[in-house]
Structure 1
Amino acid sequence: MSTEFLEKTYLTTHDLAIGTFSFYEHVVVGQVREGMQICMDNILPLLALSWEAYRNTSVVYISDRKYSYSLDPTMYYEVKKLAPHITGYAWVVYNEINRKIAELEARFVHCPNAIYPTIDNALQWAVNLLQNEGEN
């Protein structure tokens, strides 16, 4: 599922100070660099790119948590105001610690969200979410 979807819908990749973000039609897959401390100041470039690419459409963000980093989860309230086009948020986690962190963060995300062990699972969820949104 993921390889075919990603190949068909790929738009561009942005290598930013905080990580690498691949933009697809209606999906962004982000991988934040090891040890980063995420704050509003350092995600503003990503939000600006997201606004340019998706402001008139829905997008699901998939956080590929391959590396450990920190953030203040209350930041999600501000992100929602600046990026209302984000209609879903998924975490891909590779260990129990990151699962627990994602569960905590999920409490602050006010859109459909889910936690998965693989990119394939997260992409399938994102596609289903987007399809269901289009039916409503």
Structure 2
Amino acid sequence: MVNKGGITVQGFEQSFLKTLEMETGTFHFYEQVVIGQVREGMQVTLDNTLPLLSHAWELYRDKKIVYISDRKNSYSLDPTMHMELLKLVPFLAGYAWVVYNDLTERVAHLEARFLGCPTAIYRSMDPALLWARGLLQQPEQA
């Protein structure tokens, strides 16, 4: 299937690096995108995300990335932890949410207020991937 701009999901899949199963969830790593799906009922804290952040640092420290939160499951997260995120992951160029209902969309809007990078909220993965690709193609700002 071809999306706007000629970007195909298949083309995106060619940049796949690895999948990491962690206590907190499943994370798919691509050349410049991480798609994460947190486990149902999980309480996400800065402490239990440190292994993920460490892994991202090893893979991406020399390039900018976008994180896409695939919100299929219900879990809790203190949105103020996002304020620390850019200190720990300075190469984070953007953060997107793929939401599946009005409640998770409202939660994503709340979380976005605590992030100091570009954010976007979508109802399906394809537009989120298009947004990430476009954001990553923008020139670096001084």
- Residue identity over aligned pairs, in percent, reads 55
1:20 pairs with one of 1, 17, 26: 26
- Give the gaps of 5 or more residues in structure 1: none
- Give the gaps of 5 or more residues in structure 2: 1-6
- Deviation by residue 1:13-51 (Cα, 9 ceiling, x = unmatched): 000000000000100000000010000110000000000
Aligned residues: 136
Give the secondary structure class of the aligned counterpart of 2:26: strand
- Deviation by residue 1:67-108 (Cα, 9 ceiling, x = unmatched): 011111110111111111111000000000000000000000
Give the secondary structure class of the aligned counterpart of 2:59: helix
Separation in structure 2 between the aligned mates of residue 113 and residue 121 of structure 1, nearest angstrom: 13
1:1-136 counterparts in 2 under 5 A?
1=7, 3-133=9-139
Length-normalised TM-score, structure 1: 0.95
Larger mean Cα displacement after TM superposition, 2-11 or 60-69? 2-11
Contact 1:37-1:70 within 8 A present in 2 as well: yes
Instruction: Quote the offset at 1:2 in angstroms.
Output: 5.3
Structure ID, larger Rg: 2
Separation in structure 1 between the aligned mates of residue 13 and residue 71 of structure 2, nearest angstrom: 21
Instruction: Quote the offset at 1:133 in angstroms.
Output: 3.3
Give the secondary structure class of the aligned counterpart of 1:68: coil
Length-normalised TM-score, structure 2: 0.91
Q: Which runs of 4+ in 1 moved over 2 A?
A: 133-136
Give the secondary structure class of the aligned counterpart of 1:124: helix
Amino acid in the other structure paired with 2:66: V
Give the secondary structure class of the aligned counterpart of 1:114: strand
Instruction: Quote the offset at 1:134 in angstroms.
Output: 5.2
